Amino acid sequence: MVARLPEAAAGYVGELLAQHPVELRVVPRRATKLGDHRPPTPAVPWHRITVNEDLNRYAFLVTLLHELAHLTTHVEHRGRRRLRPHGREWQMQFARIIEPVVTARLVPGDLITALRTAVARPRAATCSDRRLLLALSSYDPIDPGLTRVEHLEPGDLFQLETGRRFIRGARLRSRYRCIEATTGVEYRVHGLARVTLVASD
């Protein structure tokens, strides 16, 4: 796990993980989320966090800290009903956990700026914060054959790395309404997702 984190931040993350009984697993890429947190149950009496394996080390770090904020929110507000998943309580925990990363400059300067904005106005998910997502994705390996969904034209056919093909539709805030070419089923695809444009016949 340490190899997946920025070297400067590994010690801090280790300290956070040691504070609670938690199982951390790195899992195959999921198109709908970067990570998740599951609280203890009678059958599994410890916290469980998963993070996608395809994330660069900075995206892995921020996603893991995001999920740790869910963990600490659950611990501090255990038993409360109607606690919003990304409500004020989670926002306060996220800001508290991110702050040492910013003040100790455990990540590059461009990410410090993006994280300061994220702490001031936390979003429900890393992929909902355009500035942060762009900053994190700048550390991804560059593939000249890929383009972002937001750069396509309506009606363009594109392919995900899984091989599934979609037709780009209208913009819906940060995502686009897209129709899967083979099934006709509608999906929402993030505008910053990198895809392959498929030439029309």
Domain spans in the chain, listed from the N-terminal domain onward: 2-137, 147-198
pLDDT score for 4:
93
Residues in contact with 96: Cβ distance below 8 Å, sequence separation at least 6, in sequence order: 69, 72
**Per-residue pLDDT tens over the stretch 145-198:** 889 999 999 999 999 988 999 999 999 877 899 999 999 999 998 888 889 999
pLDDT score for 180:
95
> Is the CB of residue 4 less than 8 Å from the CB of residue 50?
no
pLDDT score for 22:
96
201 pLDDT above the threshold of 70: no
Largest Cα–Cα separation, the chain: 58
122 pLDDT above the threshold of 70: no
pTM of the predicted model, to two decimals?
A: 0.80
On the CB side of 123, how many CA atoms lie within 13 Å of its CA? Answer: 17
77 pLDDT above the threshold of 70: yes
Structure tokens at 11: 């010690």
Residue carrying structure tokens 């993350």:
13
Q: Which CATH code fits 147-198?
A: 2.30.30
Q: What is the average pLDDT value for the chain, to the nearest integer? A: 89
Confidence band of 128 (pLDDT split at 50, 70, 90): low
> How close are the terminal C-alpha atoms of the chain, in Å?
45
Sequence letter at residue 128: S
